[in-house]
Copies of this chain bind each other. A is one copy, B any other.
Amino acid sequence: MDIATLRASHSDHWQLAGAIRALAMDAVQAANSGHPGMPMGMADVATVLFQNHLKFDASAPNWADRDRFILSAGHGSMLIYALLHLTGYSDMTLEEIKNFRQWGAKTAGHPEYGHAQGIETTTGPLGQGISNAVGFAMAEESLRARFGAKVVNHKTWVIAGDGCLMEGISQEAIGLAGMQKLSNLIVLWDNNNISIDGRISMSDITDQHKRFEASGWKVIACDGHNPTDIDRALTEAKKSDRPVLVDCKTIIGFGAPNKQDSAGAHGSPLGEAEIKLTREVYGWTHEAFVIPAEIKAKWEAIGARGAAERAAWEERFATLPGGKQAEFTRQMALEAPKKLAGAVKALKKELAEKLPKVATRKASEMALAAINPVMPETIGGSADLSGSNLTKTADLGVFNADNRKGRYVHFGIREHGMAAAMNGMILHGGVRAYGGTFMCFTDYARGAMRLSALMGVPSVYVMTHDSIGLGEDGPTHQPVEHLAICRATPNTLVFRPADAVETLEAWEIALTEKSRPSVLALSRQNLPTLRKTFTAKNLTAQGAYILAEGSARPKAILMATGSEVEIAMKAREILEAEGIPTRVVSVPSMELFAAQPEAYRKKVLPAGPVRVAVEAAARMPWDRFLLGERGSEKKAAFVGMESFGASAPAEVLYEKFGITAENIANKVRAML
């Protein structure tokens, strides 16, 4: 629909959408950076969505049964900021809009989770939002099955652009959602035919209808500038028994006379002159950042339109049995259940008695078998390596369209989509998501793992086959730099437990953590239980601790993680036999150790003794503890990997790469 017709035939709508468009133009211009074209292009669709379809109440942004709105095309952030401001979210003031992209503002360049109410997830890295959304929709299905449709019955709406749809992660999301038949998921495709480099046809000729249909989606098309047609499409979308793509044909920078329908409208301010001309085209006579009171009032009425529905929901919620209410609230708040500590303690005692020799991936399964029954909010899964990652415990059942009470997801060979869906599930609330793949394939999931950290979402990454210790699969599957990668990422907890006890302790931390993701690096190969004495205290929470003390004041300190702690212990035996008092420090988590008080760190790593760090991985993260923390270059050595691995049985590889007790002992001898 062209602007003249639209203005004439839908004048109320035009004013509402115009407020979005004006704020987007003005804020981007004031910041002198940003993306005006997308909000201008999708203003009509967003207006119809918020006015007639989205279930929300601006006065209660955390209402558990609200529809979720996700701006996957995060560069168009002014669209959501404008919507939140106009509908009356209390923290999205006009001042914030005016401070778009400035220090301390809630209105970052891309929508940041936690900055303002109504931002359900951080978007900007393309394809993440649509993939988060699959997790949101799965969480909703899970909660509905567990708590009933009276209290959980909402949709997840996504706005995605061509950028999102070209990213590979979107295919993983589309495939997963299609297989899962997520009828509560509706993606509004901003089909404007423009990307940063120009016309989409320069880089893609994909028929998106056919592509989505191929994965079991329903596709509906509409004129993204015709409110009646948009409304028809959204009405139809809500009735689908499958996930829906609504193809919204739009014009980027709609109405800007010299820039619309071109890449020029995408990622830069329109410029004062073009804004002036566009205002004329719009018939929008108000000054920059001025929204007339009557238009603001109409928008606020839209923001309040869900209040009655929310009140009704609260009444329904109050009819739930008290225990169920408390449980719902607990799970939505990501509070660990009271029973968790007891379950952990019981298994810990059992481990101290039985001293199992198992791979830490197996230990992880044992931990989960104890935890999952007392933590009904866990949803686990694997990117098609269930039997290797050992992420499925007996009680879970498979989550799919036939069994929404299932708690195990066959994510398929989709590491990136899995990680993003895990983020989405946790952001939705009510779910603690964990998922497994091989440690090496954190590479495939990096984009989403970084967002777990940036958003502070406590996703748990169960990364097995964590070193050359996986053996014959060879260097493509053997992580070397991946511990460094995870440890270099801010706000991320990385665990590499040495035995079954540390593995259990790591799980306890990961599942009580509320604002950091955890990466569990787990062995393929069997490892002895080294923590032979039960302690109620979670020693892994200290990050590093003295596992074995020297027979006298230590002359050497061996630091190690995971499968290499056993080797360090053997080196200790050799050295002690030679009269060299040797301490072994297990370092399950560098981040947690670095956060300990200096007195504790000094106790564990005093100045004086020579230090050897042992880890079948890159040295980079270790210099901090070898050379820093009172260490020195002449009294420090590293035993680990300097290159990629190789294909051979694990024991051969350890020998060939020199990660042996004898080599550790040699390093100590050479320094003493």
Contacts and interface: CB of A to CB of B under 8 A. Distances in A.
A450 B127 CA distance: 22
Contact of A206 (B109, B175, B481): B175
A205 interface: yes
Contacts of A667: none
Nearest to A216: B205
B413 A112 contact: no
Nearest to A477: B124
Copies in the complex: 2
Given A203-B179, A382-B197, A643 B490 contact: yes
Given A167-B413, A384-B203, A481 B472 contact: no
B170 A168 contact: yes
Contact of A488 (B125, B207, B484, B644): B484
A474 B124 contact: yes
B101 A454 contact: no
A309 interface: no
A181 to B, nearest CB: 9
A632 B630 CA distance: 9
A584 B104 CA distance: 33
A123 to B, nearest CB: 8
Given A110-B477, A214-B211, A216-B205, A648 B167 contact: no
A171 B387 CA distance: 27
- Tell me which of A204, A387, A484, A628 has the highest count of chain B C-beta atoms within 10 A of its own C-beta: A204
Contacts of A606: none
- Tell me which of A104, A440, A633, A652 has the highest count of chain B C-beta atoms within 10 A of its own C-beta: A633
Given A214-B211, A412-B204, A484-B484, A648 B103 contact: yes
A165 to B, nearest CB: 8
A443 interface: yes
Given A216-B205, A413-B195, A443 B444 contact: no
Nearest to A131: B168
Given A109-B474, A210-B214, A385 B196 contact: yes
A657 B385 CA distance: 42
Interface string A410-448: 111111110000000000000000000000110110110
A35 B207 CA distance: 36
A590 B635 CA distance: 23
Contact of A647 (B101, B123, B646): B101
A656 interface: yes
Nearest to A647: B108
Nearest to A74: B476
A631 interface: yes
A178 B205 contact: yes
Given A125-B444, A446-B446, A472-B101, A620 B171 contact: no
Given A206-B214, A481-B490, A620-B484, A166 B125 contact: no
Given A110-B473, A110-B476, A197 B410 contact: yes
A300 interface: no
Contacts of A202: 398, 400, 410
A105 interface: yes
A151 B103 CA distance: 59
A34 interface: yes
A503 interface: no
30 contacts: A102-B648, A103-B646, A104-B648, A109-B473, A109-B477, A109-B647, A112-B475, A125-B443, A163-B413, A166-B175, A168-B170, A169-B444, A176-B203, A196-B387, A196-B388, A197-B384, A202-B410, A205-B216, A206-B215, A207-B213, A211-B214, A211-B215, A454-B475, A481-B489, A485-B485, A488-B620, A491-B643, A620-B620, A620-B624, A623-B627
Given A110-B474, A206-B216, 10 more contacts: A33-B473, A103-B647, A103-B649, A109-B472, A110-B476, A126-B413, A179-B204, A204-B412, A488-B618, A490-B618
